[in-house]
Amino acid sequence: MLTEYIAIAMKQATYELLEDNTYYGEIPVCGGVWSNHSTLEGCRDELQNTLEGWIILGLQKGHFLPVLDGIDLNLKEKVA
């Protein structure tokens, strides 16, 4: 499920070539997930690493993560 979530998020990534000839990538639905690298492939790799860290931190802190294609990673409260 986590691998699928990451794949879906990465498909939503956007990239642009900046004036300094570096690549900027972001995943708009995942606020704050972006990367910058001298190559497009490097930008993609860094973006995925950033996304993975963002997910882990979000889960640790109890932040709401967007539901992507029906995949909901948000922790559910246990009812006693």
- Give tens-digit pLDDT for 21-30: 999 999 999 9
Please state, in angstroms and rounded to a whole number, the distance separating the CA atoms of residues 55 and 19.
Answer: 30
- DSSP state, residue 70: T
Q: Measured on CA atoms in the order 43, 48, 49, 50, is the torsion positive or negative?
A: positive
**What angle in degrees, to the nearest 10, is found between the helix axes of 40-61 and 2-11?**
130
Please state, in angstroms and rounded to a whole number, the distance separating the CA atoms of residues 8 and 65.
Answer: 13
Phi (first) and psi of residue 37, to 5 degrees: -155, 160
- DSSP state, residue 26: E
Residue with structure tokens 């992507």? Answer: 68
- Give tens-digit pLDDT for 1-42: 999 999 999 999 999 999 999 999 999 999 999 999 999 999
